[in-house]
Chain A
Amino acid sequence: MKFIKSAFILLFLVIACSNLKAQVKHSSKSIKSHLALSIANGKVVYTQNCASCHQVDGHGVQNMNPPLIQTSYVLGDKTKLIKIILNGFNEDVEINGNTYSNTMASHDFLKDKEIADVLTYIRHSFGNKASAVSVAMVKSVRAAKK
């Protein structure tokens, strides 16, 4: 009897644990799918607004349009990165000993969500790995600019 009881308890514990595990798995899955969605949306924004200069694979154009691969401009401070999208960029930029001369126009016509998505996309693509950019963050940088 005692044996049966303890077997039941054990079974209960196993089921409870596996449930818990499923719950944890579920919530991480939702974060992951949120990120995946942001990256997927960002890719669309990228293709329409960025790829013609920075190229489909983010390697940019020799002497003209800087690469988005393994550079602190992309992987570093997110506020600075958001400002590049909002204000455009027209300064000398040197990356790995090369300079790039084309003007980047302001892309402030993009919505907060589009900017968050496209920056999340480039921070997760072309071999880059860095944290996502949130809509709230874009909103606050845009507000501070005004």
Chain B
Amino acid sequence: MKKNRLLPYILPLMAIPALVISIALKNPTPADGAGLTLPSGFDANIVADNLGSARHIAITKQGDIYVKLNRAKNGKGILYLHQTGDKATVVNGFGNYAGTGMYIKDGYLYASSNEDVYRYKLNDKGEVINPNQPERIVVGLLNRREHESKSVVLDNNGNIYVNVGAYSNSCQEKDRQKGSMGRKGCPILDSAGGIWEFKADKPDQHYGDGIHYAKGLRNVVGLDWNQQDNQLFVMQHGRDQLHDLFPDLYTTQQSAIEPAECLYAVKEGDNAGWPYIYYDQEKHEKILAPEYGGDGKKTAGEGTIDPEVAFPGHLAPDGLLFYTGNQFPERYKNGAFIAFHGSWNRAPEPQAGYFVVFQPFKDGKPDGKWEVFADGFAGTQAQKESGNAVHRPCGLAQGPDGSLYVTDDNKGTIYKISYKK
């Protein structure tokens, strides 16, 4: 009798081990060696470590690596690594300037400091011919410390696109001052907070020589040229501190997840609306910024573009790559990988991000929901939530064999993610 009464309680308990096993099988397992969590069939390797503040990265046809450092190390701001098997060793360094941008196109390596853009001719082995005499392509872009990095990408018509971040959070009279209102006709927008187009082969171009290609983008670090659409895509870092600056309008919880980090498809002349609006990813609406009379609800932004995808706030997208390789399964082809550097502006709420996301695309348009592709860069949950991440994803590149490379600008690690079936 007693036994029968206990049975209903015991049976579910007996099911727990089976459940645990089935969850373990379904969930991705940490890849060997690199400590990352990946979808099944993928594997990650650390190809290089302790390089310094490794920002954007470019891979040659031979599989060798150029990486841009945010701080020059021993006077070298660009490192060249030769790869054999799954390891890469530093061959040499050059370019004594700090910066972020690194891109290879049509036999040239393009690199940016926080003010200028340079290019270096490559030989048929993918080696820089004259490391100490680059051509200076663009000169004198604004660097006022905040949002100083300049990212670069090229189209297929000999043009280079350069981000100039706004030296401000939301164009307040006093930057990041509680309650300070927005500057009328935000004067920052004439020379920052947008994308500029220049000729890829013309020396010493200034602002006036280029095209003010897109406006109202607060700060872009990750950007890529979509080959299917033949169009520029950028990831904007959304504004910070809604609660800090307007505590009566936003709770700390709202401020932690809003506003969105947006993926925009950009055409010449587009305006994404910063600083007047921000995008609310929960309501799917453009909201009038509190600095310009918003109350957290009023919509605005007529004539400004909508994002293709809106991600949760403050995750800090620093790398964008459309996957064109053949190594990964078919569903990844032409989809977008995004490296999220990880948040800081969620405190006192837990921090988030520090992962690489995949957004499926079909016929050049986002198709379905984004998913976390590679996680575990931060270390433990406590390291992630406190913002003390061990590794922070930044740059992305695709190798000639279709492997995906991810840089980390905290420890200077380069990861190589491959599909093993």
Contact = CB atoms under 8 A, between A and B. Distances in A.
A61 B177 contact: no
A132 interface: no
Interface in B166-187: 168-169, 174-178, 180
Contacts of B175: 90, 103, 105
Nearest to B240: A52
Contacts of A137: none
A106 B177 contact: yes
The B interface is mostly helix, strand or loop, or mixed, namely: loop
Contact of B241 (A52, A56, A62): A52
A92 B71 CA distance: 14
Given A59-B388, A61-B387, A62-B410, A51 B177 contact: no
Contacts of B43: none
Nearest to B345: A52
A92 B145 contact: yes
A56 B386 contact: yes
B386 A55 contact: yes
A101 B145 contact: yes
A84 to B, nearest CB: 14
Interface residues of A, number: 26
Interface string A100-131: 01111110010000000000000000000000
Interface in B223-269: 241, 243-244
Contacts of B387: 55, 59, 61
B88 interface: no
Nearest to B388: A59
Contacts of B177: 88, 105-106
Nearest to B53: A63
A90 B145 CA distance: 9
A98 B178 CA distance: 27
13 contacts: A51-B347, A57-B388, A61-B344, A61-B387, A63-B70, A65-B344, A90-B145, A99-B71, A101-B145, A101-B148, A105-B175, A105-B178, A106-B177
Interface of B: 53, 70-71, 145-146, 148, 168-169, 174-178, 180, 241, 243-244, 344-345, 347-348, 386-388, 392, 409-410
